[in-house]
Structures are given as structure tokens and as C-alpha cells.
């Protein structure tokens, strides 16, 4: 059985990715901040086809909660095929008035926690790769197009996501020999809770959650011999170089 750990699985992109991997027969560990959301989600994932579902609440601002999340997956499955680094937070504001604490929180949630969780999961991913020589194991990070092409007011968020993309690219280089590949998806604006009420971009022009799911599905189907480090996905009306 292939298995995946998905953060930010309660809503939006993470939830849709979890449902899709469940339908593909993955054993799943899902996480977000509230246990009650995860209990309900776990039942839905089982109904959607996941042979086994583990869940553990974890807040990405609490870095000590992340190794136990990887351990929960290890207890349930012993190894990991796919790590989906999806949970993240939005942050908008001018540089000169952006509170330092908020900047640090943005970096902790969108970057440091991803590094810490990946480090904790790597032994499991290497084990998963050894057990599945065709697919190997793969880290998929939901980064952002704003980390590549600047978007007004998003200096903190974009910097955190640019660093996340860079982290994934080096991880891919470092781990390829162990069969672990890593990919960052860089979406522009996607129609989720995160973009609700965003001024200037109509929801109906946004990328659909299902589009991001399709990219994740493609990545997890690749063999270990193919690596795609970064996949930009822009809104069709943005011209390709804006979120």
C-alpha cells in the first residue's frame, strides 16, 4: 500500500488532495489544527477508498508538534510514499508597517515548519522509496507563484514561499540517490477560503482546487526516474507571469 501524510487537510487544497489520494487507494495520515475536523475527515476518506486513515492535530507554529506527526504516520504505516507539505498561511501588508512578529510567524508556518516536518519524515520516505523501486517516494510542497513573480503587498508571504521552493529544489538534489524526489507546485490565486474576499481578482477567474489536485496526482504517478522541481500554475487571465 502506498501512503501519504498531508498537512492542511481540513479544508481547501489539502482536503481535495486527501480525497483524491484516498480514491487512489493511499493509506493516509491527515493533519490540521483541530482534532474534531480530522475525525470527520478520516471517516470521509475511508468512505472515499483509503484503506487506513490516521490523524493527528498539529499547529505549524508549534515546531515540537511536528516530529510526533511523522511518528504517528510511522506507527500507522511504517514507511511513507508521499509527503504533501500543503498547510500554510496568507499574510498581506506593506513592508514598513508589517509587524515583525507577524513576519516571523509567516516564516515559521510557511518555511521553518516545513523544514522540520520534512527532516522528521525523511527516514520514513527513504524507507518508502526502498519498498517501491518504481515510484520511489516524493515530497510535494504547495508553494506559490508569488514567490517567483512579485505580487503587490505580499513581501512576507512571497519571501516565505520563495524560500520553500528553494528548499524543495535542494532537497530534490540531495535525496534523489535515495529514491526521494521533491516537487514544489507554484499556484497563482486558487479559489479557497484563503482568497475569499480578495479585492481585484474575481473568484470565477481563479484556479480551481481540482487543478492543483490534478498536478499532485500527476506527480505521485511519476516514476522515481523523473523529477520536476517546480511547477508554476497561473490563472489563464493573468498572462502567465502574475498570480
Ligand X SMILES: NC(=O)c1ccc[n+]([C@@H]2O[C@H](COP(=O)([O-])OP(=O)(O)OC[C@H]3O[C@@H](n4cnc5c(N)ncnc54)[C@H](OP(=O)(O)O)[C@@H]3O)[C@@H](O)[C@H]2O)c1
| List 46, 48, 52, 61, residue binding ligand X (CB under 6 A) | 61
Q: Which of residues 188-227 bind ligand X (CB under 6 A)?
A: 189-190, 192-195
| List 27, 88, 128, 136, residue binding ligand X (CB under 6 A) | 88
| List 44, 59, 71, 169, residue binding ligand X (CB under 6 A) | 59
Q: Which of residues 1-20 bind ligand X (CB under 6 A)?
A: 8, 10-14
H-type helices in the chain, by residue range?
12-23, 35-48, 66-77, 100-107, 113-131, 155-175, 209-221
Q: Which residue has the cell 505521485?
A: 220
User: At closest approach, how far in Å is the CB of 78 from ligand X?
Assistant: 25
| Interaction of residue 46 with ligand X, rule CB under 6 A | no
Report the Cα–Cα distance between both ends of the chain, in Å, rounded.
36
C-alpha distances (whole Å) from 103 to each of 58, 90, 141, 144, 221 are 21, 11, 20, 17, 36
- All cell numbers assigned to 44: 470521509
For residue 60, the SS3 value is: coil
| Interaction of residue 242 with ligand X, rule CB under 6 A | no
CB-CB neighbours of 63 under 10 Å: 15
Query: With contacts defined by CB under 6 A, how many residues of the chain interact with ligand X?
Result: 27
Catalytic residue check, 157 = yes
Q: Which CB, 131 or 233, lies closer to ligand X?
A: 233
Q: List residues binding ligand X (CB under 6 A).
A: 8, 10-14, 32-34, 37, 59-61, 86-89, 109, 142, 144, 187, 189-190, 192-195
Positions marked active-site: 157
Amino acid at each position: 500500500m502506498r501512503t501519504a501524510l498531508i498537512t492542511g487537510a481540513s479544508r481547501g487544497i489539502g482536503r481535495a488532495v486527501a480525497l483524491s489520494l484516498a480514491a487512489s487507494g493511499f493509506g493516509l495520515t491527515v493533519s490540521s489544527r483541530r482534532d474534531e475536523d480530522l475525525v470527520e475527515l478520516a471517516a470521509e476518506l475511508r468512505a472515499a477508498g483509503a484503506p487506513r486513515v490516521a490523524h493527528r492535530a498539529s499547529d505549524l507554529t508549534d515546531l515540537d508538534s511536528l516530529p510526533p506527526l511523522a511518528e504517528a504516520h510511522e506507527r500507522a504505516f511504517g514507511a511513507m510514499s508521499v509527503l504533501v507539505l500543503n498547510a500554510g498561511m496568507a499574510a498581506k501588508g506593506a513592508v514598513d508597517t508589517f509587524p515583525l512578529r507577524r513576519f516571523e510567524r509567516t516564516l515559521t508556518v510557511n518555511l521553518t515548519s516545513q523544514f522540520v516536518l520534512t527532516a522528521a519524515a525523511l527516514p520514513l520516505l527513504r524507507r518508502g522509496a526502498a519498498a517501491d523501486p518504481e515510484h520511489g517516494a516524493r515530497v510535494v510542497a504547495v508553494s506559490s507563484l508569488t514567490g517567483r513573480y512579485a505580487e503587490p503587498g505580499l513581501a512576507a508571504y512571497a519571501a516565505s514561499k520563495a524560500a520553500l521552493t528553494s528548499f524543495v529544489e535542494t532537497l530534490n538534489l540531495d535525496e534523489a540517490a535515495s529514491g526521494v524526489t521533491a516537487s514544489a507546485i507554484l499556484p497563482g490565486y486558487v479559489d479557497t477560503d484563503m482568497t475569499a474576499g480578495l479585492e481585484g481578482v474575481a473568484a470565477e477567474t481563479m484556479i480551481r482546487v481540482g487543478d492543483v489536485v490534478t498536478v499532485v496526482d500527476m506527480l505521485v504517478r511519476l516514476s522515481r526516474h523523473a523529477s520536476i522541481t517546480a511547477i508554476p500554475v497561473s490563472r489563464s487571465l493573468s498572462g502567465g507571469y502574475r498570480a
